[in-house]
Chain A
């Protein structure tokens, strides 16, 4: 009766192997590495960069363990720090022709030393939280009110232009908070305006009021449109933050949305909060200027003449120089949105659609009217250095604040350009509402403390179990160790963030997991006390204990899930491990320990006794069950 079919043993062996495989990367430690990431919003890290880094290293005779593209950066691992430093200089020299204006950020950091074949199986070490590895954590609140105000402002401009285009006479347009208001003198005009606005501006809901002699239409954003504006703002802010954070050369930055209007930024290894804040808070600026295409300018661009008075020389994305007038027509402030899309008239040609605010639209119309056939340049300034993002030819006068840039672009380029045009600014201002800095030595200390408490606690339990339940205690201890293995493997597999409360949860999970084994062992003893034969006692002991184990684990799991659902920060770190621990413990304490018992005792047909410690009977002649 105490035999497992072969498939059950096979399943246990497979679970053991998978557990061991995914736990393994945690033991390799970390090795020095060099990380290359983009230094500018206009520079993208592409697979080709891996080749460039490899050739540079080969030319200098530096041996790398591997060079690979991971996310948005290329990483190369080295044997020791001397090679690492040499490699850093080599790569920096090869990639950045001009050290004062670096295209790429080359930084030193650490990567896991585990072999590549493990990484290919996605067997990675546990992802350590900031309290264990040191670093900076920011929680930023996005000011959604101002995102909505900005939208209302741009809608006011659209509205003005719409009414003028259709020659509908109004008595004033104003913005009051997030409400757009239009006044009319008579009812008929209001009605025609209302029809037009419903058709052209579907994002707004209009309400009509009588105001003194005249009439008033007030428009507010529909809830779903407002939500879309907020989503967009948050996404744009996250993209912008990504671009900026690259510069710190952090190995695994986390930039995530939290809730409806918050962004979490975690920069492991960074200690310098002032610099981090500076970089996060910096704004890149966008400028629109005219291109000088006179003969002198053409000569200056080729480098054969001086740069004409009142102009500057900039490099276009792709490398060609361009002479641009100093006078700034528009800045990024006038640009409300930039989206990739397709040319409306010219079939399916990729294009970038820009939306300007009312003031920008007016200036833009005047400028384009006077400069048809000429080129204009859109420049992005970062860290005081400008670069031309795109320089299209003006085909005709553009009014209405909706600008389309098309021609000589594929869809990817259109998307990139749109991103760059948006990258300049944050869609809405952000404020730091939570900040945490943890020094690296404190992180290491926390790992040690957490690890020690798990080990000593485990040791104490193991000693007690083995003394009290003898061989069954040994089985329980092995099952507990298996539980620890599974838990660490699951955490590595899920790449859930392990924090100090998480380690505490591991300890607690082990402390609670032993409960199941105690229940089983006590039940088996009880059966033996009642006079059951050893094999029957084992079988009924496990069977009866199972119901109780399930019940008690479910109540614990309810608390764990509540913590997971409502917890944040350290509580969440605790809850994830707590819930996982409950699940792994049910498997290891019941299925795995039974497997061990079956393997040991199951084969013996005439089992005389089991080693579960002393079974004391109150009255040998009268078993307890008859009471």
Chain B
């Protein structure tokens, strides 16, 4: 089997202007949504309380909301999570209420709404582990709802996490730029990072547009995508360098076209494979991994596009020349050049 049967180098760069215009428009749209709508940050960043409650039967969201509202905790979000039986409740951070006791107060209220009482239940699991947990039981002995998860984050933690996220992003960008500059040339380094930051902004734009929840895991996915799509640019840049050495007659545009053409098969197949994994996570990973996988999916799709069309085009605009990469004479080779003395 062979998907790609390409006779001649495809003149990708002839369309560079159009492609860059498209990029620029998506980028602008992403920035627009980011500024107007903002990110829907998870409580890890904003602080607050999240509770996940599992009902025995399909949950009545209205009743749940009424029960939580009766506590007067401000703007509370109640929504389904995964299945119709699981309910996610988000409580904002408030100065007056004692946050660490909030979850149990809400659980009490929910339990009352289902005509049950809260008690501590102690039992041993069939595996032989002792468990004692607060449970809600009705007079009939059934358990209408269970507390699956609670999470409380104080205000100071959120600020720190935001700051740490920015630092991680900064360190990644600087690290990758330095590496590319050292390994290739500054023009490649600029092109690579611009192309891939453009991916990051577009992912964030999606999250802003759809108001998907931006959590710490999503941040990790975004940074992983940044590292991953730089790969793609590296592979193409590698080929560009090789083509400059091999084909002396070709001009810069043709060299870039050749590099992209000869790697396109690998690009599509690798990304396809990674995408299979990520989509598998999206399908089978459940609600917790949903946005993480989604960020990766978008990131990988745009990663192909941006490293092929955006990075290469920027390199071309920046005016990369054969001399930038290939030392014409090895005699006066720069001793600091990592590739000095490399022969083909």
Q: Which residues does A use to contact B, with CB under 8 Å?
A: 30-33, 78, 80-81, 84-85, 107-110, 131, 139, 141, 249, 269-275, 277, 432-442, 445-446, 449-450, 452-454, 456-458, 460-461, 464-465, 467-468, 500-501, 504-505, 507-508, 510-512, 514-515, 518-519, 522, 525-526, 547-548, 551-563, 565-571, 574-575, 578, 613-616, 618-619, 627
Contacts and interface: CB of A to CB of B under 8 A. Distances in A.
Contacts of B115: none
B123 to A, nearest CB: 11
B273 A518 contact: yes
A468 B1 contact: yes
User: Lowest 4 CB-CB distances: which A-B pairs, in order?
Assistant: A32-B128, A559-B227, A511-B277, A271-B133
A177 to B, nearest CB: 21
Contact of A449 (B100, B232, B247, B285): B285
23 contacts: A31-B128, A32-B129, A110-B129, A271-B134, A275-B132, A435-B100, A439-B54, A440-B125, A441-B54, A452-B284, A452-B285, A453-B281, A456-B284, A457-B279, A501-B217, A504-B292, A508-B274, A508-B277, A511-B275, A551-B231, A562-B169, A565-B171, A574-B217
What DSSP secondary structure best describes chain B's contact surface?
A: helix
Contact of A445 (B176, B273, B286): B286
A506 to B, nearest CB: 10
Tell me which of B7, B227, B279 has the highest count of chain A C-beta atoms within 10 A of its own C-beta.
B227
B148 A109 contact: no
B178 to A, nearest CB: 9
A571 B219 contact: yes
B231 A552 contact: yes
Contact of B289 (A450, A519, A560): A450
B286 A449 contact: yes
A530 B167 CA distance: 47
B328 interface: no
Interface of B: 1-2, 5-8, 44, 52, 54, 100, 103-104, 120, 124-134, 146-154, 156-157, 161, 164-165, 167-169, 171-172, 175-176, 179-180, 183, 215-217, 219-220, 223-224, 226-228, 230-232, 234-235, 238, 247, 258, 262, 265-266, 269-270, 272-281, 283-286, 288-289, 292-293, 296
B151 A108 contact: no
Given A32-B128, A556-B227, A559-B227, A565 B277 contact: no
Given A457-B280, A556-B227, A511 B273 contact: yes
A272 B127 CA distance: 19
Nearest to B287: A449
Nearest to B125: A440
A569 B216 contact: yes
A434 B44 CA distance: 9
Contacts of A561: 171, 175
A434 B152 contact: yes
Given A110-B128, A504-B292, A555 B227 contact: yes
Nearest to A567: B168
A449 B288 contact: yes
